[in-house]
A and B are shown apart, each in its own frame.
Chain A
Amino acid sequence: MDIRVLTLGDSAFTIEFPTLKGAFGARRVRALRTRVQQEVDHGKLLGVLDVISASRSLTVCLDPQVSDYELVRDRIADLAREPVNDVKDGGQLWSLPACYQGDYAPDLENVAQRSGLSPEEVIDLHSSVTYDVFLIGFLPGFAFLGEIDKRLRFPRRTSPRVRVPAGSVGIANEQTAVYPWESPGGWHLLARCPVPFFNTAWEQPSLLSAGVRVRFDPISVVEYEKLQNDLNSGALSPQSFLVDQGRG
């Protein structure tokens, strides 16, 4: 496998797969991350503090007081060059409810008009694809998913919204995402998802992680409100939307 090892100061480096992109890159990165985690769990790579997945690269942050930088870097570069048996299969699969109606879908009409489709066709195109989580970033728990249908690809809004409600499902360029927090944002908002995406009380604070797969399941406003109540009251666990454990 063709790789590049990039220096990110004296306590981090990035392994890049320059020829990969999209879902295939994300899965190759996930495979490397799993190998790195295995080595860390076996106490082989001392001082690894953080591992950050991007769509075609993995960044490893070290504790410079503990790690032998060159040793760890060279070992992980070797792992990256190892052939991976099968990266076509995905990891966990989540089926996330999303309401594409009314106030929950402020940009649906606009996206339909721009793409020359009906709102129903837009919903169908967005919810019929199983997406890969390319990376988590921008905000804690913010998952970048791809790739969306070519007919739905538009640049970000020229004037970003000051306030995008938590749970908003947006699209921009070839990606889609759910805002885990209320925040400013420039994506076109197609739906709202009632499932919480980040909670510091969870063992893994982010519901999703790089390399898992996600699809959206259209629901009505009534179903949205019921799910939101059940999730808030604890009657329903976010884990119930994990439909396939995958192969890790």
Chain B
Amino acid sequence: MGASLKVISPGILASIQDEGRRGYAGFGVPRSGAADPIALQIGNALVGNDPFVAAIEFRFLGPKVVVNKGRMRLGLAANATAELILAENGEKLSVSAWQTVVLNEGDVLAITSLSEGATGYLTIEGGLDLTPVLESCSTYARAKLGGVTGLPLQAGDVVDAIFDVPRDGMEKIVNSPPVLDSKIVRVMLGPQEDYFSEDEIKKFSCEAYKVSGDVDRMGIRMEGAELVPLPDKGSDLISDGLVPGSIQIPGSGQPIILFVDCQTIGGYPKIATVITADLPLLGQLLPGDSIRFEPVTLAQAQTALREQSSAIQCCVDSIADYFGEGVMDLKALYKTNLIGGVVDANYSGHFPGHLEGMSNETD
């Protein structure tokens, strides 16, 4: 039996997600899966997992969890810090963004709100002990598929890990986490760009749009210049297939970007579709953010995807042993003279506490 984690507080919309479901859209089953698959991949690399192993996704505000059985190593894949409260003596240690940490039975990890972006992951070394539903552990609440109960995580839910104890080895950190500064969402026009005049298309691609308060895994409602379909076309069409990233223009003229849990079919005209490389960006949009849609060609979209694969690899390659605070009690280590005390020249200044020659033992 593996270790297990109990949810003390789920934060806002925490759920189990992996790569999502493929092959069931024809039966009306949405793809679901990670809102930011890049963060999930890097978070899994951080704990030595395959890229799309199921993890705890949280949005806007992180969860608070306690290890209620065994020991486990977690990866904090988010622009958020956390507080580790030790069961042994109640001591509070700070955990940096994008690092791993080992929790003993009774230790509590409280993740703060995200300092940047909207989505983060708590990855679990060795993965979670869940039974896939339609080949995925992703939670899709409307049909109660996946996750632990089919629903977003609730206080009291217990999530079982596969490992009962962590692997031996140093804690890790992503030295170059993904950068979230793009305010441009690249799209390919269509499938119903012919519902809109050239002027309306120009408006769509030049004006800035603001993310409204209506943001969830189904869709992201935008606010900005109203887009009016040609009078002979209207806002209704014979329903056709949708994908996450489809940008619908309903009667209000305000775009809705459909997202990972979106329906498979819809009847509003879709002016454009977000390219695959920019879908992860959608998972990081916060209410109030301002973005611009930039039409690109298929060749540009394909180049963007290749460049993104290299960028992800760079983040993964930047994962290194971590010697900072939070992983271990530095004061105690100093006292017992376990530290060799040489600053790593490669990262000096990056982490003031970055030291070499430390013992692998973390507790």
Which chain B positions have C-beta within 8 A of A14? 191, 240-241
Contacting pair A139 B243 (CB below 8 A): no
- B298 near A69 (CB under 8 angstroms)? yes
- Checking A7, A51, A205 against B29 with a beta-carbon cut-off of 8 angstroms, the contacting residue is A205
Is A12 interfacial (CB-CB < 8 Å)? Answer: yes
| Contact between chains at B246 and A10 (CB < 8 Å) | no
B357 → A minimal CB distance (Å): 41
Which one of A11, A52, A200, A204 contacts B25 once the chains associate, using CB atoms below 8 Å?
A: A52
The residues of A that contact B31 with a CB separation of less than 8 Å are 50
Give bound CA distance, A57 to B240, whole Å.
6
Contact A10 B301 (CB under 8 A): yes
- Give the chain B neighbours of A205 by CB distance below 8 A: 24, 27, 29, 134
Q: How large is the interface on B (under 10, 10 to 19, 20 to 34, 35 or more residues)?
A: 35 or more
| CB-based contact A12/B22 at 8 Å | no
Question: Is B254 interfacial (CB 8 A cutoff)?
Answer: no
* Contacting pair B25 A141 (CB below 8 A): no
From the candidates B27, B142, B298, name the one contacting A70 in the complex (CB within 8 A). Answer: B298
Q: Mark B178-208, 1 if CB is under 8 A from A, else 0.
A: 0000000001111110000000000000000
Are B238 and A52 in contact (CB-based, < 8 A)?
no
Of A64, A136, A141, the contact of B276 (CB 8 Å cutoff) = A64
Contact mask for chain A residues 96-123; partner B; CB cutoff 8 A; 1 contact, 0 none: 0000000000000000000000000000
Write the nearest CB–CB distance from B105 to chain A, whole angstroms. Answer: 34
Q: Which residues of B contact A (CB under 8 A)?
A: 22-31, 133-134, 142-143, 145, 187-192, 238-243, 245-246, 263-265, 270, 273-276, 298, 301-302, 305, 309
Q: Is A238 an interface position by the 8 A CB rule? A: no
**CB–CB B243/A11 < 8 A:** yes
Return chain B residues, CB-CB under 8 Å to A206: 27-29
CB distance from B32 to the nearest CB of A (A): 11
- A58-B239 Cα distance, complex, nearest whole Å: 11
Interface of B is mostly: mixed
Q: 1/0 contact trace for A1-26 toward B, CB 8 Å?
A: 00000111111111010000100000
* Chain B residues closer than 8 Å to A59, beta-carbon distance: 240-243
With A8-B273, A11-B276, A52-B264 in contact, is A64–B302 under 8 Å at CB? yes
* A154 contacts the other chain (CB 8 A): no
Count of chain A residues near B, Cβ 8 A: 45
Q: How far is the CB of B193 from chain A (nearest CB, A)?
A: 8
Q: Which of A9, A63, A140 contacts B243 (CB 8 A)?
A: A9
Knowing A50-B22, A139-B143, A200-B133 are in contact, say whether A10-B275 is a contact too (CB < 8 A).
yes
9 chain-A/chain-B pairs, Cβ below 8 angstroms:
A49-B22, A52-B242, A61-B25, A61-B241, A65-B309, A69-B298, A135-B265, A137-B264, A142-B28
Q: How far is the CA of A183 from the CA of B192 in the complex (A)?
A: 30
Chain B neighbourhood of A9, CB < 8 A: 187-188, 243, 245-246, 273-276, 301
Render A204-232 as a binary contact track against B, CB cut-off 8 A, 1 for contact: 11100110000000000000000000000
Is A168 an interface residue, CB under 8 A from the partner? no
A135 neighbours in B (Cβ, 8 Å) = 239, 265
Q: Are B24 and A138 in contact, CB atoms less than 8 angstroms apart?
A: no
